Amino acid sequence: MNDEMRPTDESELREMVRASSGPLSLRGGGTRGVAFGTGAVLQTSGLSGIRLYEPGALTLVAGAGTPVAEVAAVLAGERQRLAFEVPDMRGVLRRPVLQGTGVSTLGGVVSVNACGPRRVQVGACRDHLLGVRFVDGMGTVIKSGGRVMKNVTGLDLVKLMAGSHGTLGVISEVAFKVQAIPEAEVTLAAEVGVVEGLALLRKALGSPFDVSGAAYAGFRALVRVEGMEASVRYRARALKALLGGDWTEIDGATLWNSVRDGGGVGQGALWRVSCQPTAAAAVVAALAGVDHEAVFDWGGGLIWIAVRGLTDGGAGLIRRVLVGLGHATLVRRAGDQTSGVPVFQPEAPGVAALSLAIKAKFDPRDILNRGISTAGLSTAGLSTAGDLG
């Protein structure tokens, strides 16, 4: 078998998986994170192309290897978008090409359950998935979901695949519900300290004013509202009155892109921390005296932290304070210093056993992305370590 395989359709993909006698390392565009399996590279970028797009039904079906930029351009032509704001991690990873096309693909987005600041309003990638087709570790084609949102009984395979990091199957096709681009957008900014700023963000998110972004970056609290022009203006005024202090309206497009794409933090080991918003300040306080930068999203529920100067990249400090409060994923290593640090937060024994059992059902030969911790599974209610939004 060649060191790198590139199927051009689902039949070829199925036969390649069936014929594999060793582990397969799955790649889309190779633009996300440090979690890659061992073995021969199976490149999915050949499974590309938009198969169905119905603007009136807000529905799009495309191959897993379809570039996100291509989809975004097609949707923009109808003033629509993927609502969950797909992060572009190439900048913070400083590796635009990793044995792949160097562009983000839909399959990769689903595999890590990617999402950005708008998650506080619309949810993550998994919440917009209508259906998925994939090939499991035995070479069997499995289809789950369809082109409309339905109630699900039993195991929801669509949600299960989102955030599984290619450990359960090779995605070949995805179906999404899309969103109309709103008429107006306003970003409010206020210069405040981090503790006060996070409290204001939580207050904004707890209001009835439908906030679509709540971040703290560059010593400023940032709140975004989107929608019809009159509604946005009303909600912006109401939020200013509710939050008090000196809030100004700014052009937030570049800022929100920076927050979306890893916070714009500098050198060092980069962590993506998911935690209870009320614990966010304490997580960063644990790094007092350590050279670090932090940007907060989701009202403090997500923190991008760059740590410099520690031999473990801050893993010990960060993961110790997160016990019972959340989890930390290593997104960017800092040279040899973090070579032995697990990418995902270790799971509780019971959850780890359940994750392994699910893996054994879908990939009994353990050939798909072998070596990636089963903490990458994002089964509902079991583990969120695969939620790389």
Whether residue 101 contacts residue 64, with contact meaning beta carbons closer than 8 Å, is answered with: no
Structure tokens at 309: 């100067």
Task: Report the C-alpha gap between 32 and 159 in whole angstroms.
Answer: 20
Strands 211-217 and 220-227, bridge-based pairing: antiparallel
177 token code pair: 């519900």
Per DSSP, helices labelled H in 206-314 are 229-243, 253-260, 280-285
Whether the Cβ atoms of residue 226 and residue 182 lie closer than 8 Å to each other = yes
pLDDT tens, position by position, for the chain (389 residues)? 446 899 999 999 999 999 999 999 998 887 765 556 678 999 999 999 999 999 999 999 999 999 999 999 999 999 999 999 999 988 888 654 444 457 899 999 999 999 999 999 999 999 999 999 999 999 999 999 876 655 555 568 999 999 999 999 999 999 999 999 999 999 999 999 999 999 999 999 999 999 999 999 999 999 999 999 999 999 999 999 999 999 999 999 999 999 999 998 888 999 999 999 999 999 999 999 999 999 999 999 999 999 999 989 999 999 999 988 999 999 988 876 677 888 888 888 998 899 999 999 999 999 999 878 644 444 333 333 334 33
Beta bridge partners of 258: none
For position 380, what pLDDT does the model report? 33
- The pLDDT score that the predictor gives to residue 109 is 95
Q: Is 328 helix (H, G, I), strand (E, B) or coil?
A: strand
Q: Look-up: residue for tokens 């960060």?
A: 318
- Residue tagged 């009994």 (tokens): 364
Q: Identify the pLDDT of residue 130.
A: 95
Q: What are phi and psi of 38, to 5 degrees?
A: -95, 165
Closest CA to 63 of 75, 46, 82, 80: 46
Asked if residue 337 lies in contact with residue 359, where contact means CB atoms within 8 angstroms, the answer is no
Q: ∠ at Cα 87 (254, 327), nearest 5°?
A: 115
Q: What is the pLDDT of residue 353?
A: 93
pLDDT at 219: 95
The contacts of residue 217 (CB under 8 Å, 6+ apart) are: 255, 258, 259, 263, 264, 295, 296
> In this structure, how many other beta carbons lie within 10 angstroms of the beta carbon of residue 186?
20
194-205 and 229-243 helices cross at what angle (nearest 10)? 130
What are 125-161's pLDDT values in tens digits? 999 999 999 999 999 999 998 766 555 555 689 999 9
Residue 327's SS3 state is: strand
pLDDT of residue 100: 42
Q: How are strands ordered across the β-sheet holding 40-43?
A: 4-5, 40-43, 24-27
Predicted local distance difference test score (pLDDT) of residue 305: 96
User: Minimal CA–CA distance to 63: which of 45, 48, 85?
Assistant: 48
3-state class of 53 per DSSP? strand
Positive or negative torsion for Cα 341, 342, 343, 347: negative
What per-residue confidence (pLDDT) applies to 154? 57
